[in-house]
C-alpha cells in the first residue's frame, strides 16, 4: 500500500517489533516505500524470513534478531528510533488456551519490556497492537471502545493487560501511547499453515487444494474482517497524529461491517473459481464450536474517524479479491 497520501514524515526512524510477521512485514514494506528508516525486531517464533527477504538489501532496513522477553534486546531495538510500532506477540486464542504461560511471557512481560525500553529511549510515541478480543463477553454491538466485557481467553487477558500498562505508562511517565484493537485482520502474507492459522488464509488454502474448509459451528458466527491496508492506514494515522486528544487511548481498527462464515466461504469460492472453476463445487463441512470464540464481532469505527481521520478504503469484497489474488500468485 502506498501511504504517501497520509504524509508521514520520511525522516522518522521507526521500530517495528514482530516485523517478520503478517502485519509487521506489511508495515515495514509500507514505511520503507515512504522513505522511512525501519528497524525490525523479531525472533521468528511465528514470523518468516521470506516476509522480509526483499527488504534485506535495502540500506534503510535493519533486521535485529531478538526476543522481546529479553529486556536487553528491547533496549537495543529502541536505540535511536523516533517511533515504535509494537506488533510482536503470540497471537491466537487456542494457542493461549494450550500454553497460557508462554503467551503471557511474550504478550505481557515482553510488552512491559518494550514499554520500559521505549520510555528510556524517549521515543516520541509507542503505538501497539491491541485486540478486539478485549471485548470478551460484552454483548454490546457495535463494539465501542469504552464498553468491554470479561475476557474469554488467556490471550484476551494479555491484550487487555497491554492496554492497562500503556495507560499507566502514559499517566506516570508521560509517555505517548496509542493502542489499536485490531478486528480479524487478513491479507497478503498472512500465514495459512499451522494449527493456529487464521480462518481466511486457512479456508483459501483448503479451497485452492479442493479440500472442504471446516467451519467451527454452524457458520452463523460473524466477524468484522479487516483488510491489511486499513490497518496500515490506522498505524500511520496513530503515529503521525498531532491531535493531543487522540493520544493515550485505544481505537477499534476495523471496516465497520460484519460477515458470517457462510457468506465468507461463498465469497472466497466466487473469487477463487475465477482461477479454477472446479472450486465452485467444493463445499464446507461443519465441526464443533471452538472454546473462547465470541459469536459476533462488529466494531464502531466512529472514534477513529473522529479523532484520527480514519477513512478505510477497503471493504471485505475488495480486500478478499486482493488477498485471493495474492494467495493464488504466491502459494498455488
Ligand atoms: N491478525 C489479526 O487478526 C490480529 C487481531 C488482533 C490483534 N493482532 C495482534 O497484531 C499483532 C501482529 O499479529 P500478526 O497477525 O501479524 O501475527 P504474526 O504471528 O504474523 O506476527 C507476530 C510477530 O511477532 C513475532 N514474535 C513473536 N514472539 C516474539 C518474541 N518473543 N520476540 C520477538 N518477536 C516475536 C513473530 O515471530 C511474528 O513475526 C500481534 O500483537 C497480534 O496479537 C492481530
Quick check: is 197 in a domain?
no
Q: Which of 12, 83, 128, 155 is catalytic?
A: 155
Quick check: is 217 in a domain?
no
- Residue to substitute in 44, 45, 106 for testing ligand 1 pocket (most ligand atoms within 8 angstroms of CB): 45
Q: Which pLDDT band, with edges at 50, 70 and 90, does 102 fall under?
A: very high
Instruction: Give residue 291's pLDDT.
Output: 74
| Residues counted in the chain | 332
Number of domains in the chain: 1
What is the whole-number distance in angstroms between the Cα of residue 282 and the centre of ligand 1? Answer: 31
What is the whole-number distance in angstroms between the Cα of residue 90 and the centre of ligand 1? Answer: 5
Quick check: is 30 in a domain?
yes
Instruction: Give residue 292's pLDDT.
Output: 67
Quick check: is 272 in a domain?
no
Quick check: is 173 in a domain?
yes
Quick check: is 280 in a domain?
no
| Residue nearest ligand 1's atom 28 by CA | 89
What is the whole-number distance in angstroms between the Cα of residue 127 and the centre of ligand 1? Answer: 14
Percent of the chain clearing pLDDT 90 (strictly above): 94
Active-site residue, 155 included: yes
Q: Residue 157's domain spans which residues?
A: 12-189+227-256+296-313
Residue-wise pLDDT for 203-256, tens only, equals 999 999 999 999 999 999 999 999 999 999 999 999 999 999 999 999 999 999
| Residue nearest ligand 1's atom 10 by CA | 129
Quick check: is 52 in a domain?
yes
Q: What is the CATH number of the domain that holds 75?
A: 3.40.50.720
Q: Which residues line ligand 1 (CB under 6 A)?
A: 18, 20-24, 41-47, 67-69, 87-91, 106, 110, 129, 131, 182, 184-185
Is the pLDDT score of 311 beyond 80?
A: yes
Quick check: is 243 in a domain?
yes
What is the whole-number distance in angstroms between the Cα of residue 99 and the centre of ligand 1? Answer: 16
Amino acid at each position: 500500500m502506498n501511504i504517501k497520501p497520509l504524509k508521514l514524515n520520511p525522516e522518522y526512524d521507526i521500530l517495528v517489533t514482530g516485523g517478520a510477521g503478517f502485519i509487521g512485514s506489511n508495515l515495514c514494506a509500507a514505511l520503507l516505500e515512504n522513505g522511512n528508516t525501519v528497524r525490525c525486531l523479531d525472533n521468528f517464533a511465528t514470523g518468516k524470513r521470506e516476509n522480509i527477504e526483499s527488504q534485506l538489501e535495502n540500506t534503510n532496513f535493519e533486521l535485529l534478531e531478538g526476543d522481546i522477553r529479553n529486556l536487553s534486546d528491547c533496549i537495543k531495538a529502541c536505540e535511536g528510533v523516533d517511533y515504535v510500532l509494537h506488533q510482536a506477540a503470540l497471537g491466537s486464542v487456542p494457542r493461549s488456551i494450550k500454553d497460557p504461560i508462554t503467551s503471557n511471557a511474550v504478550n505481557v512481560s515482553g510488552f512491559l519490556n518494550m514499554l520500559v525500553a521505549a520510555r528510556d529511549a524517549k521515543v516520541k510515541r509507542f503505538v501497539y497492537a491491541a485486540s478486539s478480543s478485549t471485548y470478551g463477553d460484552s454483548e454490546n454491538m457495535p463494539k465501542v471502545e469504552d464498553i468491554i466485557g470479561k475476557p474469554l481467553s488467556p490471550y484476551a487477558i494479555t491484550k487487555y493487560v497491554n492496554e492497562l500498562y500503556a495507560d499507566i505508562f502514559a499517566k506516570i511517565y508521560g509517555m505517548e501511547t496509542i493502542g489499536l484493537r485490531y478486528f480479524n485482520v487478513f491479507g497478503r502474507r498472512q500465514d495459512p499453515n499451522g494449527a493456529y492459522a487464521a480462518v481466511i488464509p486457512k479456508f483459501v488454502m483448503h479451497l485452492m487444494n479442493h479440500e472442504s474448509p471446516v467451519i467451527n459451528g454452524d457458520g452463523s458466527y460473524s466477524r468484522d474482517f479487516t483488510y491489511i491496508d486499513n490497518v496500515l492506514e490506522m498505524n500511520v494515522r496513530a503515529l503521525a497524529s498531532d491531535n493531543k486528544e487522540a493520544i493515550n487511548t485505544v481505537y477499534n481498527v476495523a471496516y465497520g461491517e460484519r460477515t458470517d462464515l457462510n457468506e465468507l466461504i461463498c465469497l472466497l469460492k466466487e473469487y477463487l473459481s475465477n482461477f479454477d472453476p472446479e472450486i465452485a463445487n467444493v463445499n464446507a463441512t461443519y465441526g464443533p464450536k471452538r472454546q473462547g470464540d465470541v459469536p459476533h464481532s462488529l466494531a464502531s469505527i466512529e472514534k477513529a474517524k473522529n479523532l484520527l481521520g480514519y477513512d478505510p478504503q477497503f471493504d471485505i469484497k475488495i480486500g478478499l479479491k486482493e488477498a485471493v489474488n495474492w494467495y493464488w500468485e504466491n502459494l498455488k
